[in-house]
Amino acid sequence: MADLSRAHIEAFLEMMSAERGAAGNTLSSYERDLEDLQSFLLASSTSALTAQSANLSAYLAHLGAQGFAASSQARKLSAMRQFYKFLYAEGLRGDDPTAILDAPKKGRSLPKIMSEDEVTRLLELAAKEAAEPGPEQLARLRMLALLELLYATGMRVSELVSLPVKVLDQEGRFLVIRGKGNKERLVPLSRSAIAAVASYGEVRRQALAKSGDSPWLFPSTGKEGYLPRQVFARDLKGLAARAGLRAAAISPHVMRHAFASHLLQNGADLRVVQELLGHSDISTTQIYTHVLEERLRELVQTHHPLAKQAKNRE
């Protein structure tokens, strides 16, 4: 039985190479996955050639019990489907037992967020550097304004870097943002964000007085005319490293996540956060409630007296 199934696996791999032009790494991956399947089936007194849908479902359940990620299970299922389509096309089976199998559901990954202390450290260093005079002061004031605006509003980075210069002429503590689908939303500004933008705006005017103004708040010589988001992301990682934070974990999008999570942690309504973020569907915003649930669970496990007693008994 084992030799027979092995021969079919080899024939399948030959077909994938000759007819589909599959790369060597792909063929090796298929071979490993199908041999693993065959080993499982042999232990259940069947083989890849005679297995039914129930046997293959049991194999997928076995993978889940072994701790394989949903993505790994999906890859193995893909190899199985290709193999059984081959067996059916060759007339070696009269059916395809993978046809009714469902792909394992991938868990929705939780967004990376920063703690309030980490955001404070980042903003304090940005403010300290922005206060230092010198030829690079405009860039440092720009970084402070970008960060204050981002953390005050939770804007998408594309919305942030493309803000118009008329923002400098606005009065009051609200900002109109044009987001996805050209939809506008109103977001409040913090006092520190207003002050940072004003300081940056003054130095910006002086710097552009001779060369002519730009329609963008954060102008650039690039083709778009405004600061590329990749440049902001790079500079942000540099600031994070200088602040003693793990630069790889910090990005403009992570700051947006921090804005939403910190609002919810401090009692904001989910619908309000949805509106501020510009989400058309509240289900998109609800991912942040999972972050809070996980943090609450960690807090209970760390600080609840019964949890401590259980840990001591282990």
Which CATH number do you get for residue 29? 1.10.150.130
Q: Is 256 a catalytic residue?
A: yes
Annotated catalytic residue, options 156, 229, 257, 262: 156
* Structural contact between residues 288 and 260, judged by C-beta atoms closer than 8 angstroms: yes
Query: Of the residues 85, 185, 279, 295, which is catalytic?
Result: 279
Residue 233: pLDDT over 80: yes
Per-residue pLDDT band at 278 (split at 50, 70, 90)? confident
Task: Indicate if 166 belongs to the active site.
Answer: no
The identity of residue 279, as a single letter, is H
Phi, psi of 134 (to 5 degrees): 140, 175
Could you say which of 30, 84, 200, 288 is catalytic? 288
Instruction: Establish whether 156 is a catalytic residue.
Output: yes
Which of 40, 73, 89 represents a domain boundary (last residue)?
89
Question: What is the pLDDT at residue 229?
Answer: 93
Q: Name the domain boundary from 71, 89, 107.
A: 89
262 is catalytic: no
Q: Which pLDDT value is given to residue 105?
A: 65
286 CB-near residues (< 8 Å, 6+ apart)? 270
Q: What is the pLDDT, as a whole number, of residue 296?
A: 57
Give residue 125's domain range: 116-301
Q: Identify the CATH number of the domain in which residue 217 sits.
A: 1.10.443.10
Specify if 311 maps to a domain.
Answer: no
What percent of the chain has a predicted confidence (pLDDT) above 70? 88
- Name residue, tokens 């030829």: 135
Query: Tell me, what's the pLDDT at 182?
Result: 80
Q: Give catalytic status of residue 242 as yes or no.
A: no
88 is an active site residue: no
Do 78 and 130 lie in one domain? The reply is: no
Q: Are 154 and 285 in contact (CB under 8 A)?
A: no
Mean pLDDT computed over every residue of the chain: 86
The active-site residue out of 180, 183, 271, 304 is 180
| pTM, to two decimals | 0.60
